[in-house]
Homo-oligomer: A and B are copies of this chain.
Amino acid sequence: MKTTSATRFAILGLLSLEPMSGYDIRRAVDDVLRHFWNESYGQIYPTLAALEHEGLIRLMPAAARASARRRKVYAIAPAGRRALAAWRRKPPVYRPFRDEMLLRLFFGDAPSTPALLGHVKRLRAAETRRLAEYKAIEARIRREAGDHASRPFWRATLRFGHHRSSAIVRWCDETARALRGSRARTP
């Protein structure tokens, strides 16, 4: 394996906060990393097995687990913390991004303009929803992580989302105006 994937570090990162099962990790990703990350079970379970094999995480003894269920709770090992720290300092590799909405827009023409305006409108609604979510998360961080050492970092990622979504909303408004205008000029 060549493994340039960040999946293992997302998992290691979450385990650095507290011990978790594969199921917990999935939930944590969906709950807290959602705005800039995602993982599926198909990635999580095999990666967990590999990480344990490499000694970066340890399976906690059943006795120490919260319930009698057959959950498998993993904790990060010292080698895992070191790997995480090293990865954190490494400049992220650039991943070219793809945007299907922009692709549609680029190949737009007069007859498709109403449909494209619909795409823009839906995007605007989605980004507006995100802005509201960010506000809720910010309140939650203030409440639950008042003094946590990670707070400034969590806040920074949140602010990224805020800046990004605000900019997209502004773009949607500008573009709706421009496209309605050009449709009027070119009937």
A residues sitting closer than 8 Å to B (CB atoms) are: 6, 9-10, 13, 16, 33, 36-38, 84-85, 87-89, 91-112, 115-116, 118-119, 122, 126, 149-150, 152-157, 159-160, 163-164, 166-168, 170-171, 174-175, 178-179, 182, 186
A112 CB, nearest partner CB in chain B, Å? 5
A100 contacts which of B92, B104, B171 (Cβ < 8 Å)?
B92
In the complex, the count of this chain's copies comes to 2
- Bound-state CA distance A154–B87 (Å) is 38
Whether B171 contacts A103 by the Cβ 8 Å rule is: no
Chain B residue nearest in CB terms to A14: B107
Main secondary structure of the interface of A (DSSP, over half): helix
* Residues in B neighbouring A33, C-beta threshold 8 A: 103, 106
A48 CB, nearest partner CB in chain B, Å? 17
Known: A98-B38, A164-B164. A118 touches B91 (CB 8 A): yes
* Residues in B neighbouring A157, C-beta threshold 8 A: 102, 105-106
Known: A10-B103, A103-B10, A152-B178. A38 touches B167 (CB 8 A): no
Could you list 27 A-B pairs, sorted by A, with CB under 8 Å?
Answer: A6-B100, A6-B103, A9-B103, A13-B103, A33-B103, A36-B103, A37-B99, A88-B104, A88-B107, A88-B108, A88-B116, A91-B122, A92-B119, A95-B100, A102-B157, A106-B154, A107-B153, A108-B152, A110-B149, A152-B182, A156-B175, A156-B179, A159-B174, A160-B168, A163-B171, A163-B174, A166-B167
A21 CB, nearest partner CB in chain B, Å? 19
